[in-house]
Structures are given as C-alpha cells and as structure tokens.
Structure 1
Amino acid sequence: MSSNDDVRSLVSPVFFRRHRGLYFTALTVLIVLFSLIFLFPLYWMITGALKDNQEIFSPQPTIIPQSFHPETYLTAWKNLRIGHYFLNTLYYSVGVWFFQVLIDVTAAYALSRLRPVLGKLVLAGMLATLMLPMTALLVPAYLTVTDVPILGWNLINTPWALWLPGAANAFNIYVLKRFFDQIPQDILDAAAMDGAGKFRMLWSVVLPLSRPVLAVISILSIIGAWKDYLWPLLVLQDPEVQNLSVALTRLAATSGVVPFTQLLAGLVIASIPMILVFLVFQRSILRGLSAGSMKG
C-alpha cells in the first residue's frame, strides 16, 4: 500500500505541510479574484439601474451610486412591459424543456436499449452536429421553419419555431445514452420477467433511476431557452411574441426614447429567475454531472 506522500496532486503533501499558510493565502486570493471577475458585471448592472442618467453616463464612473433610485425597477416593469415578455419567455422555456426531454429521452433509450439497425451511425451523425458552429445551421434551420417540408407550414412568430428545432439536442441524447448504458441489465431483465414491456421499463425503471441526469438536462435546457437570443431574434419578428432577450435588445435600439437605467433594470429582472434556478438546483447539477457509475 502507498503512503500519503505518494499521492499525486498539484500540491504535494510535503509542500502543503511546510507552506500551509502560503497555500491558503494563494487559494483565498484566487477565490476572491475569480469571484470579483464573475460578480462585478452583475453588481455594475444592479447598481447602474439605481443611478440617474447623468451619473450612469458620467466620464468618471462611480462604484457606489451617489444617487439612489430603486423606483427605476418598478418604472421599467411598467414602461417596458417586462411582465408581458417575462410570461412569453417562461412559456417558450417550458415548451422547449418539455419537447427536449420527451424527444431526447426516447431517442437515447432507443439507441441504448433497443439498439436499432444503424443506431451507431445515427448516433455518430448526431454527434457530428456538435462539431458545427451554431451559425452554420441558422440558414437551413430558418428555411425549414419558414416552409416545413411536406406540410408547407410557416412557423415564424409561433412557439413551434422555438420548440421543434430545439427538441433534438445531440449533447443531451449522448449524455442520456451514456447514463442508460450503465444501468445494470439485471434490473431490466427482472422487469421483463415480471411482464414489463419496453415502454413500461422506460417509465417505471429507467426514468426513476435517471433522476440526477434528468435534473441536469432539464435545468440546462430551461436556462438555455431563457437566455437564447440569436434564434428567437430570427423567428420572433412580431414584437408582441418576442422573449425578454430580444425585446430588451429591440428597446435598447430606441435608447433615445427609453432611459438607459430602465434598460439595465430590465436586464436585472430578466436575469433573476436563472440566478435563482442555479442557486436552488446547483447541488442537483453537480450530482447529475458526477452521476457516471451505478452499483448493481
């Protein structure tokens, strides 16, 4: 058996024991530095909405607001119709989550347990799409939603323009398939002996065992749909059906009409739900990402 001194790490145990104070000092400095890098833009946005327009555009920026106008948030909520766009975004995000989980789970289960003919080729084709930049797929995707093949439907300015293209996510399918592959076959064989069919196995055995990875997929899909900008900008051309990110950008183009502090307040309000989602479900995200092995 090897001793503790044989453990390989970035900092050896011997160095750690001799320079414990230096190690914790460097660690603290790095944590504070990275925290400032990530949190300062958020702080600047929150405090910027509390300032007046003269202070926000001052050549000498102020870290701590010299003026305090918390009513800007309420004014922005009313004047920018944040509530309307907020409900639009929530509606789109829930729909993207539902169809993404529905399609990705069934596709991953089929590739993992049903093993169709040419299944490996289909999976390879899905993974190949991850190598393409998103901008390369915008034109064919846009042409598809403007004239759906065979049906001839135009999905512009409808929720389906967001829901259908985002339903099949190659990354989610790959992650789910890898997780399904690690479910012990004995469990599925026992369910089959009890008379469970393929769908029953998926609903009663596979999905309950896959809660950690399903939580990660769900959270990432909702966050991705909430903050998505480029694709909704193309397919949601009617201002009444736009989501928050597109609507706020459109309003920012009319900055001569809408005060900049109100735009900052709108951005803060738009970011609050996803920050809360991450803070509440961060443990589920970490557990799901580390769920790579199962005991039989």
Structure 2
Amino acid sequence: MATYSPQNRTLISSATLSRRKGKILYRTVLTVVLVLFTLVFLGPLYWMVTGGLKSASEVVANPPTYFPKHPKPGNYHTAWSDFTIPRLLFNTLYYAFGALLFQLIFDVAAAYAISKLRPIFGKLILGGMLATLMIPAAVLVVPQYMTVLDLPVLHVNLIGTPWAIWLPTVANGFNIFLLKRFFDSIPEDLMHAAAIDGAGPLRTLWSIVLPMSRPILGVVSIFAVVNVWKDFLWPMLVEPDPKKQPINIGINSLSQGIPENVIIAGLAIASVPTLLIFLLFQRNIMSGLTAGSLKG
C-alpha cells in the first residue's frame, strides 16, 4: 500500500494523470503555457530582427507587417558602418572585462573572508550586502553620480573615465552571496590540511579554493559581462563622448538622422553577443548556480 508523503504533492495528482482525460488536459495546458511564454520572450526578438530587414516606411506602417514584404539585408551593413559598430563593440568589451576583473578580485576576497576567515560581525556585513539588493537601482543613481563627480578623500572627477563605469560594479551583493555560498560547501578538512602544511589564507585561496570554484567563477564572470553590456542609464550619464560610449548608448547617441529600420538593425547586432553568451554557456550558468547548494 502506497503511503502519503508531502514530497509527492503536486498541482495534479498522479491518479488524475493516469487517466486519459487527465493526460490530454495536462498536455494541452502545458502546450498552451509553453507557446504563450515562448511568444512573450521571443516576440520582441523576432520583431527586432525582422524590423531590421524592412524598409523605413514598412517599419512605421500601421497595422504592422509580421514579415518584411521586400527584405533588405543591406540595412545591417549600413548599420554596421553608420554606427561604427566595431569601435562601439571594442568600447563595450573594454568596460565589460574591466568590470569583470575588479569584481573577481574584490568580490572573491569579500566572499572568502566572510565564508572561511569568519571575521567579527561577518554575518551582519553579509546581511547588509544582501539588503542592498532590495534597493531599486534608480534610487542609487544620484548618490553614485555625486560620488564619481567628486570622489571622496581623493577629490577626483571620474566623469568621462572608465573608472566611473567600473567602480560602481565592484561591490555586487548578489555575486558575493553566490561566491560565499559556494565557498561554504568546500570541506573544512581541506582548509585545516592546508593550514597544517603551512599555507596562509592567501595561499589557501589561490591553491585550493579558486581551482575548486571554477563553475561559480564562470557564472559570476558571465553575469558581470552581461550586466555591463545591457546597462544603459549609468554609462549614458558618466560617459558623454559618443566615441567612448558602449554600444547601447553609442547607437542612441549616433541615431540622429538615421532611418528607424537601420537603427533597429543596429540594435539587433548589439544584442547578438549577449544571446550567444547565454546559448553557449546556459549549462554552465545553471550548474554554477546550483553548485554548492548541497553539502556532502
């Protein structure tokens, strides 16, 4: 006789699913939900890609067309040259990997200290970091801008320099939490063995912790690059020179006098790198997020 277990509770009971009508209803609802979510997420991407293939008049036509009547692939070549996409891509990569470097250095150090060195008030500090995740990013724009406008102690104006983009990305509470959770799963026996062999905290971090933390470091790296790549408001405020702006802001700054279909084609090109990052590393992202969640 089967026993009841709370772990077996589902929205639809197994008895209902074993019936023919239950299976049909379940599969119908599942198919409808999947199709709706697919349309919601892929609809804007489809509109952007096909919009870049339309003529300028067809883009603004009402009602809109679902597929270009006369596709114009040349719009993408025009966007590539008019927006100087290679230079904007270089700027974006420069900012993204600079932010990644600083995040790996400081966030790893913070997470390692809280997880393994266990300083006084470590839990309180971690709680304060996580509390910052509850604050809307828009609320922090003015204080951050005033900070980079006149950096405390040094009294240096960072507007128009890469530091204005890099520094606000360093203290990322979410990344510190992910790293700390993974570091917690590393057995203490390894840490004690390293201490017995004479390894100090930095040596232990470099030789033991970091080699074991490649999955979560990969996830943090992807998040760091994508966050800088998709950011719009902050780089627009702190980098007024269109020649030094990342791709999203650069396209916006250089869009004066350019047809809308070419602008849409430029935006489609700008979205390709982040889509490729997700498609290529989605398995790494999921494995990194779940790594360290179970101890054993």
Whether TM exceeds 0.5 here: the answer is yes
In the TM superposition, what is the alpha-carbon distance from 1:134 to its structure 2 partner?
1.2
Using structure 2 for the length normalisation, give the TM-score.
Answer: 0.94
Give the C-alpha shift of residue 24 in structure 1.
Answer: 1.7
Deviations 1:151-198 (A, max 9, x none): 121111111111111111111112211221222111111122222211
Distance 1:294 1:205, change over 3 A: farther
State how far apart, in whole Å, the 1-side matches of 2:2 and 2:180 are.
37
1:195 equivalenced with 2:201 (yes/no): no
The range that moved more, 183-192 or 269-278, is 183-192
2:158 alignment counterpart? 155
Count of matched residue pairs: 293
Secondary structure of the residue aligned to 2:159 is: coil
Question: For residue 210 of structure 1, what is the aligned residue in structure 2?
Answer: 213
Contact 2:242-2:254 within 8 A present in 1 as well: no
Distance change (3 Å), C-alpha of 1:29 and 1:267:
same
Equivalent runs, 1:6-17 vs 2, <5 Å: 7-17=8-18
- C-alpha RMSD over aligned residues: 1.7
CA displacement 1:4-62 (0-9 Å, x = unmatched): 89721222111111122321222122111111111111011101111111111112211
Question: Identity, % of aligned pairs?
Answer: 53
Distance 2:194 2:14 in 1: 49
Structure 2 CA distance for aligned equivalents of residues 11 and 200 of structure 1: 53
- Preserved CA contact (<8 Å) 1:5 1:13: no
Indicate which of 99, 104, 109 corresponds to 1:106: 109
- Match of 1:138, SS? helix
Corresponding position: 1:286 with 2:286: yes
**Alignment correspondent of 2:258:** 258
Matches within 5 A, 1:8-157: 8-18=9-19, 19-157=22-160
Q: What is the CA–CA distance in structure 2 between the aligned matches of 1:292 and 1:23, rounded to whole Å? A: 34
Q: Distance in 1 between matches of 2:3 and 2:288?
A: 32
Which position in structure 2 is the counterpart of 1:183?
Answer: 186
Question: How far apart are 1:97 and its partner, in Å?
Answer: 1.0
Of stretches 74-83 and 16-25 in structure 1, the one that deviates more from structure 2 is 16-25
SS of 1:164's equivalent in the other structure is helix
Q: Relative to structure 1, is the Cα distance of residues 60 and 293 closer, same or farther in structure 2, using a 3 angstrom cutoff?
A: closer
Indicate whether 1:270 and 2:273 are aligned: no
CA separation of 1:205/1:31 partners in 2, compared to 1, >3 Å: closer, same or farther? same
Q: 1:83-111, CA deviations, whole angstroms, 9 ceiling, x for partnerless residues?
A: 11111011101111111111100011011
Structure-2 separation of matches of 1:178 and 1:169: 14
